[in-house]
Structure 1
Amino acid sequence: MKQTEPGSAAPGVIVVGSITADITTFSERLPEPGETLLGTAVTLALGGKGANQAVAAALAGANSFLVGCVGTDLFSSLVLTGLTGYGVDITEVRDVNDSTGVAHIRVDASGENDIVIVPMANSHLGAEQVDAAFVSLAGRASVLLTQLEVPASVTMHAIRAGSAAGLTVLLDPAPATALDPGIWPFVDIVTPNETEARILTGIAVVDETSAEEAGRWFCDRGVRSALITLASVGAVLVTTDDVVRFPAFPVTAVDTTAAGDAFAGYLGAALADGLSLADAIRRAMAAGALTVTRRGASPSLPSRSDVEELLADHSSASSLTPLQHSHN
């Protein structure tokens, strides 16, 4: 895997992905089909996996560049102001003749959620815009973050182009969908959760053993590192010659929205800053853990100081180092 040397040029992360206005409702439980419930709160904020990951990378201290599309409606000013407020470079964000994407998120009292995304402007992101952005940003970043809330063909193009440009390519395969099997050799790190791993591999991920099996599926197809995230259980990293298990940070979940985005953004920023993959994963897991303790998408993303404080509070060997290595 490509790695930035500490002390080199300012670390940069390019995020190719979605931008949405997130409308989140909170209730004691999620309604049954056909049922109406009275909720307890509602929020309207910047969201979208691409935007959230770009914000997380910026909060982590990276130069964060977002490539995406917004509409010409009232929501566009909301999301663009939010992005710049967090320090994200939006030079490569384009206005298109459509509505800004919207996500409707429902959260219950346990912090679990369900989400309906209407892509709208996000559907206009194309390969030409991605290529132009890579030319414009050449030499300013070493890591590429991708997801699947924009057209899958565009994400696949970005992955291939990013790999050709020498970037460390991360794929957060959410929402999971069948992908061209030829894409995997261009991916340095894939980070599915249990559900996404099952959809992509056909392997039911229910524990660390099955997570390792799913991770090997990705590596057998050319991915350099497969990191299967297991929520409160932790994560399992599988490479061609090693398996490393990482424990979770114990927290009380309030809202799991954007936890995976916090993880991806902090992981990308840490790798761009020259951290080892294991250290980058621990930092990313701390960011994800803090995110679930707060409501909302971008508003729940933690600051670098908060992440460092959590890491310091759990600085014992059991939390700073992997639980187990398995050499094969």
Structure 2
Amino acid sequence: MSQTESSAPRTDGILIVGSTTADLTTFSHRLPSPGETILGDDFTLVLGGKGANQAIAAALAGGSAYMVSCVGTDLFAPMLTDGLQQAGVNIEHVAQVPGPSGIAHIRVDDSGENDIVMVPLANAALSAAQIDAAFLARASSSKVLLTQLEIPWALTQHAIRRAHECGLIVILDPAPATPLDEAIWPLVDIVTPNETEASRLTGIVVSDADSATAAGRWFTARGAGHALITMASAGAILVSETATQHFPAIPVVAVDTTAAGDAFAGYLGAALARGDDLADAISQAMAAGALTVTQRGASPSLPQRAAVEALLDVYAGVAH
């Protein structure tokens, strides 16, 4: 692996259980209407998937990232595994299964907004046994679990339960949003929906800080430790059972919002894994997400830790 380990055992690892995809992205002035064909401006083919993006972000943030996922046997597979390794992600628990790798078809307009169709394919082959093997090998050297909803929900639940049993900090990015078994919320330390996902999960239309707070309280009332509602240029709202805190956005010019949430989750997980307090970890995550939207693509847009720290320094100077 490209990431070296010291002789002393580390206990600050991040386990990422989730999806790996080949991202096929088109860029155009606007998104087409149903049934319409338009001419685009550019096309990219890169490593993506919410799980892989979060793993890469965690590794770029300086964390020991252990990916648990599946890729296929198609021509995309080497691009996916090589991309993870080159970013410093441990792929011992990435399995190769017969058939095609997962695919995400992404469309991006000139404002940076996107829509995505994700086809799981190989990601659907992930198993509880594979997750168990990863926990057996890595839970003792890890502090955080990152997981999402681009793998079968039963397996996301399984990973959350295992992480909770092992005493890991459980961070759930509930995307793509779908109704979830409410028994899982007491096992989740931090849930990180954006405004759209929070609206779909809670039934509360999130449009401002007050509605985000109400949505956050929906999660904490069901047992989640913290709800962290992200709202793009409106910043983020952190809700616990007893308090609410607003984190302002760092103003940037958005080119492509793909993977911004994944950068946020990866940097949040890496910061908590190395012992930073939650407020500092969120500030780092906000800066990582802000930098990500200034570049095109999924994994290629994820920022290096030095760039995140530099942006935080600049923003702190401006803010004061």
Aligned partner of 1:220 in structure 2 is 221
Aligned partner of 1:82 in structure 2 is 83
1:100 aligns with 2:101: yes
Identity of aligned residues (%): 63
Q: How much is the aligned-residue C-alpha RMSD, in angstroms?
A: 1.3
Structure 2 portions without partners, runs of 5+:
1-7
Aligned partner of 1:297 in structure 2 is 298
The question of whether the paired residues in 2 share the 8 Å contact of 1:127 and 1:157 is answered with yes
Measured in 2, the distance between the counterparts of 1:276 and 1:157 equals: 27
- How do 1:165-204 residues align onto structure 2 when only pairs under 5 Å count? 165-204=166-205
Letter in 2 for 1:306: A
Aligned partner of 1:120 in structure 2 is 121
Measured in 1, the distance between the counterparts of 2:9 and 2:84 equals: 26
The question of whether the paired residues in 2 share the 8 Å contact of 1:10 and 1:63 is answered with no
Cα deviation, residue 138, structure 1: 2.9
State the TM-score, normalizing by the size of structure 2: 0.96
SS at match of 2:117: strand
- How do 1:144-293 residues align onto structure 2 when only pairs under 5 Å count? 144-293=145-294
Q: C-alpha deviations, 1:167-225, integer Å up to 9, x for none?
A: 00000000000000100000000000011001111100010000000000100000001
Cα deviation, residue 10, structure 1: 5.5
Q: How many residues matched?
A: 313
Measured in 1, the distance between the counterparts of 2:21 and 2:206 equals: 30
Cα deviation, residue 149, structure 1: 0.2
SS at match of 1:98: coil
Q: C-alpha deviations, 1:267-310, integer Å up to 9, x for none?
A: 00000011000000000000000000000000000000100000
Cα deviation, residue 9, structure 1: 3.5
Measured in 1, the distance between the counterparts of 2:163 and 2:11 equals: 18
Structure 1 portions without partners, runs of 5+:
1-6, 320-328
The question of whether the paired residues in 2 share the 8 Å contact of 1:178 and 1:200 is answered with yes
- How do 1:6-17 residues align onto structure 2 when only pairs under 5 Å count? 9=10, 11-17=12-18
Measured in 2, the distance between the counterparts of 1:111 and 1:293 equals: 9
Measured in 2, the distance between the counterparts of 1:82 and 1:219 equals: 37
Measured in 2, the distance between the counterparts of 1:10 and 1:315 equals: 31
Letter in 1 for 2:232: A
Cα deviation, residue 316, structure 1: 4.3
Q: C-alpha deviations, 1:217-276, integer Å up to 9, x for none?
A: 100000001000011000000001110000000000000000000000000000001100
Measured in 1, the distance between the counterparts of 2:133 and 2:166 equals: 13
Cα deviation, residue 156, structure 1: 0.7
Cα deviation, residue 11, structure 1: 2.2
Aligned partner of 2:55 in structure 1 is 54
Spell out structure 1 runs of 4+ moving beyond 4 A.
Answer: 316-319
